């Protein structure tokens, strides 16, 4: 599949999800057994850990179709970048989606500031650039959109592996935003 075909497939799956027409293909025991010896996912998703944001459902995909990395705030830290590098270098996924979303708790927490303890402070520090880029009147959802865009750039800036494949035209990194009201994902 070309990158355009992959984006179309994600978009079509999202349309089915948003309109209650999930086909739920490739989720049965025969699919499960057919991929025991290897995976060939067609896209990589960097999404939030939020229980409401389930990429396999949002894009109506089956087992082995998406390589999904989830961390609160869909941030580019060393572990998430390394996981995506694996998908690009070893599984040859051509499309990386950074999926921000409506009402993100990580972004809300970051907007409130304060001391959240060592671990959460570290995670929230990754969201600072999105706040710096946002206007003071920006909503949590505005910041989520900006964060997805900045994180998409950050994946390229932080990883020679990702950067090389993007520069060679083999991989695209696409920021996206999921709206829970409509169920729709906007790309770009
Ligand atoms: Zn979130």
The per-residue pLDDT for range 111-157, each reduced to its tens digit, is 999 999 999 999 999 999 999 999 889 999 999 999 999 999 999 99
pLDDT of 161 higher than 90: yes
Q: How far is the CA of 29 from the centre of ligand 1 (A)?
A: 31
Provide the CATH number for the domain formed by 3-32+39-187 in this structure.
3.40.1050.10
> 85 pLDDT band (50/70/90 cuts)?
very high
Q: Tell me the C-alpha distance between 17 and 178, whole Å.
A: 12
Which two three-digit tokens encode residue 17? 């999800």
Average pLDDT value for residue range 54-59 = 98
Q: How far is the CA of 31 from the centre of ligand 1 (A)?
A: 30
Q: How far is the CA of 77 from the centre of ligand 1 (A)?
A: 15
Q: How far is the CA of 171 from the centre of ligand 1 (A)?
A: 25
Which two three-digit tokens encode residue 96? 């990386």
In the block, residue with structure tokens 């020679």 = 160
Q: How far is the CA of 128 from the centre of ligand 1 (A)?
A: 15
Count other C-beta atoms under 10 Å from residue 157's C-beta.
12
> 98 pLDDT band (50/70/90 cuts)?
very high
| Residue 136: predicted pLDDT | 87
Q: How far is the CA of 156 from the centre of ligand 1 (A)?
A: 22
Q: How far is the CA of 143 from the centre of ligand 1 (A)?
A: 11
Q: How far is the CA of 9 from the centre of ligand 1 (A)?
A: 24
For the chain, the straight-line distance linking the first and the last C-alpha, in angstroms and rounded, comes to 20
Contact 170, 156 (CB under 8 A): no
Burial environment of residue 179 by CB neighbours within 10 A (0 to 12, 13 to 18, 19 or more): middle
Which DSSP symbol is given to 25? T
Q: How far is the CA of 36 from the centre of ligand 1 (A)?
A: 31
Burial environment of residue 99 by CB neighbours within 10 A (0 to 12, 13 to 18, 19 or more): buried
Average pLDDT value for residue range 46-69 = 98
Q: 16-47 pLDDT, tens per residue? A: 999 999 999 999 999 999 999 999 999 999 99
Q: Tell me the C-alpha distance between 20 and 70, whole Å.
A: 24
Q: How far is the CA of 129 from the centre of ligand 1 (A)?
A: 16
Average pLDDT value for residue range 50-66 = 98
Each domain of the chain, given as residue ranges in start order, spans 3-32+39-187
When the pLDDT of each residue in the chain is averaged and rounded to a whole number, the result is: 97
Q: How far is the CA of 100 from the centre of ligand 1 (A)?
A: 7
Global pTM reads 0.97
Q: Tell me the C-alpha distance between 96 and 3, whole Å.
A: 10
| Residue 119: predicted pLDDT | 96
């Amino acid at each position: 599949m070309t990158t355009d075909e992959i984006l179309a497939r994600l978009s079509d799956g999202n349309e089915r999800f948003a309109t209650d027409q999930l086909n739920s293909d490739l989720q049965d025991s025969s699919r499960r057994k057919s991929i025991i010896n290897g995976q060939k996912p067609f896209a990589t998703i960097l999404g939030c850990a939020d229980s409401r944001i389930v990429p396999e459902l949002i894009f109506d995909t089956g087992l082995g179709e998406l390589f999904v990395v989830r961390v609160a705030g869909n941030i580019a830290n060393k572990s998430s970048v390394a996981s995506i590098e694996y998908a690009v270098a070893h599984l040859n996924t051509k499309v990386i989606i950074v999926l921000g979303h409506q009402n993100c708790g990580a972004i809300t927490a970051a907007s409130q500031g304060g001391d959240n303890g060592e671990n959460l402070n570290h995670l929230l520090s990754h969201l600072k650039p999105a706040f710096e880029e946002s206007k003071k009147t920006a909503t949590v959802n505005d910041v989520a959109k900006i964060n997805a865009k900045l994180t998409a750039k950050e994946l390229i800036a932080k990883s020679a592996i990702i950067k090389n494949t993007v520069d060679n035209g083999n991989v695209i990194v696409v920021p996206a935003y999921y709206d829970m009201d409509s169920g729709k994902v906007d790309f770009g």
